């Protein structure tokens, strides 16, 4: 929670993310407050916390351990998300701490669907920041993936974005409703400003060429106040040199 809501001191973010893995077992993260139990709701917060800490590979690892395990379990539904389970892989979540029966555990639990939003909002990096999506952010993270795509519709219209790895960099595509304005955060190699090719242009009030946007600490290049015209934009971000 301290990672997800940016409560942790910036100097401790990386170590907090790493320390959380001490609760991991092969099928997810055991809840310290409820020993021997693994909870989809709590693990969802942890996944997003790792992503806020820009530890995408770690977040994806937890998704595969917990949600991947259940989706592939011969005793699961193969399509929904379970409320919780025990460290031995049985479905007796809270059976000795309130529920009293294995049959009480939900196998279609909305509160356990955190990875669905995490993959959209952090891996593809598509988030709206005001009602309807009048303003938005596009900030992809890659981890160990080679491509990702996501989208949704609001009263403003359809938002969609995707990225895929290419030789020496990556390609990013997005299409947002006309009249909306946002911020694009492009991951880069630390200390190296990337070469950017394609239809990226300055939005209102932004000087794109030669100024601003470079954040060496976060390893990203930031373009602010991008004004969407409703058409698809495509760029390639390439390692310089």
Express each pLDDT in 132-170 by its tens digit.
999 999 999 999 999 999 999 999 999 999 999 999 899
- Which of 117-121, 198-202, 205-209 has maximum average pLDDT? 117-121
- pLDDT at res. 211: 36
- pLDDT, the chain, mean: 89
Asked if residue 62 lies in contact with residue 90, where contact means CB atoms within 8 angstroms, the answer is no
Q: Quick one: tokens of 87?
A: 């460290």
Percentages of the chain per state (helix, strand, coil), in multiples of 5: 25, 30, 45
Distances (CA, A) of 10 to 6, 140, 216, 236: 8, 20, 15, 30
Tell me the whole-structure pTM to 2 decimals. Answer: 0.90
Percent of the chain scored above 90 by pLDDT? 68
What is the pLDDT confidence band of residue 23, given thresholds at 50, 70 and 90?
Answer: very high
Distance CA 25, CA 22 (A): 8
- pLDDT at res. 5: 83
CA 61 distance to own-chain centroid: 12
Within the chain, which residue ranges are assigned CATH 2.60.420.10?
124-238
What is the pLDDT confidence band of residue 8, given thresholds at 50, 70 and 90?
Answer: confident
Name the class of domain 124-238: mainly beta
Parallel/antiparallel/unpaired status of strands 28-29 and 181-187:
unpaired
């Amino acid at each position: 929670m301290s990672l997800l809501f940016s409560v942790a001191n910036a100097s401790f973010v990386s170590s907090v993310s790493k320390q959380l893995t001490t609760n991991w077992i092969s099928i997810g993260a055991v809840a310290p407050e409820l020993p021997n139990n693994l909870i989809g709701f709590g693990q969802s917060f942890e996944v997003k916390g790792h992503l806020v800490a820009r530890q995408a590979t770690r977040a994806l690892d937890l998704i595969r351990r917990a949600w991947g395990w259940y989706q592939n379990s011969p005793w699961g539904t193969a399509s929904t998300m379970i409320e919780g389970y025990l460290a031995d892989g049985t479905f007796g979540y809270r059976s000795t701490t309130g529920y009293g029966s294995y049959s009480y555990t939900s196998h279609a639990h909305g509160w356990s669907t955190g990875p669905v939003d995490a993959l959209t909002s952090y891996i593809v990096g598509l988030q709206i920041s005001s009602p309807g999506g009048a303003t938005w952010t596009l900030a992809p993270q890659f981890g160990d993936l080679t491509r990702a795509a996501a989208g949704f519709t609001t009263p403003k219209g359809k938002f969609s974005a995707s990225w895929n790895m290419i030789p020496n960099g990556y390609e990013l595509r997005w299409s947002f409703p006309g009249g909306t304005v946002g911020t694009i955060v492009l991951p880069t190699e630390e200390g190296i400003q990337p070469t950017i090719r394609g239809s990226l242009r300055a939005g209102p009030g932004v000087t794109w060429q030669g100024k601003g946007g470079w954040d060496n600490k976060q390893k990203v290049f930031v373009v602010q106040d991008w004004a969407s015209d409703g058409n698809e934009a495509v760029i390639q971000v390439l390692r310089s040199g």
